[in-house]
Structure 1
Amino acid sequence: MRLGSKTSPVLLTIGAACLPLLLAFGPAQAQEQVRRREPVLSVSGEGQASVAPDMAIVSLAVVRQAKTAGAATAANTAAMNEVLAALKADGIAERDIQTSNFSIYPQYRRSETKNGTIETQEIVGYEVTNSLSVKVRDLTKLGSLIDQSVKLGVNSGGEISFTNDKPDDAIRDARKAAVAEALDKAKTLTEAAGVKLGKILEISEGSTRPMPQAPMMRMAMAKDVAPAPVPVAAGENTYTVTVNVTFSLGE
């Protein structure tokens, strides 16, 4: 009896100390358990919107070879300066012209023995490549710009990707279409299951991408260029947005 009387106050004291914690965390945990048990429906929707491109990004490169690195660099620089001057004269802003690559590589002549193994490697020259990434905001000038660049010494590259400077409106339309598809899916599923569709508990955007972007083309840079400008077809850019939506369910 004495042992019990001594330990009881301690137990009561601990219980009183923990009571505020139980009151503070108990209801929250209970609500979390209820929320977890609440029936929900999660669906995804995808929306697309197409728009004509208003800008092209063109890759142009000048490649020159010579016996020495200095001679190859000098020849490359002279040709690239002419290309840059022509681009600026054609209305391309400096902010839309960017050097994307500059490289110098030795060129080797290899001698092989009869058994196929390489015996010697001799440097016989150097190749210098200077590449530009050019944004063309006036697509009506694209064909003539490529044509003129080739005449001035561009002999590599020619990759073109069409894009939009500000695709905000197209992406907004794609978002609306994605949400509409998600809502339609949810209604179809709940009607088929014979349950009521509740309120939206959560909505998130999964991804936004230009898919597919207008085709990327690669044009051969030949020495002999036709007098007419290079024909270019811009097509359309399609922007795709995915959304994920979670609904509560009723009986």
Structure 2
Amino acid sequence: MVTLTLDRLSAHYGRHQILSEVTTPTFAGGQMVALLGPNAAGKSTLFRRILGLLDGDGEVHIEGATCERPVAYMPQETGVNAVLTVYESVLLARMQGRRLNVKPEDLAEVDRALDELGIVALGERDIGDLSGGQRQMVGAAQALVQNPEVLLLDEPTSALDLHRQIQLLSILRRLAKDRGMLVIAALHDLGHALRFTDQALVLQGGTLVDCGPTEEVVTPELLYRVYHVTARIERCSKGRPQLIVEEAV
């Protein structure tokens, strides 16, 4: 099973340090991890360092991967080509880095990704005609169709309505467990983090604040220190943790 560990990971933009020696325990396939922190905390930069798109000190250790390109990434802006249909754009993502010699199994994987996300009906639509939320679901399909062992998602629910947010996060959690995939998602909704993720990693000013089981990390004390709000966490009738924010301080 794939594992990922960050060891003193740092990154700079020019002379400005964005990440400072981020070290984590080992995250294993089958888990869903929330990457948390306020705006400009360094979340997107951390993803770029993991992907090797930025240079810096420290190391990313990915062990147990069984394919040549185990990591897939869904950025905040998907950059999809407006002249393509949804089906074509997902197929293109499937063929990324390969010759365009499309095989039946490639088409089957596109069909599966669209079906898993409930967007089969969008297949023949032009990307340019879609809403922001629909484009975001297509971006998720483009990442999933690569069958990654490590899936990085940068604010995957930011453009989705509440129904689609719950749907997508539920699907990602299920796929992580079913496929033994490690999913790391940058999230602003801490309630979603509490409900759907197993582990949480919190950044503030490019520095790791805390890392561990989500319910142990997302506490009123952390919310006050990092997000500058007073809040409490209570259990609903189904035993799930619920975040109640009282005020900004």
Which TM-score bucket, shorter chain as reference? under 0.3
More strand by share: 1
More helix by share: 1
TM-score (norm 2): 0.21
More relative contact order, 1 or 2 (CA 8 Å, 6+ apart) = 1
- Larger radius of gyration between Structure 1 and Structure 2: 1
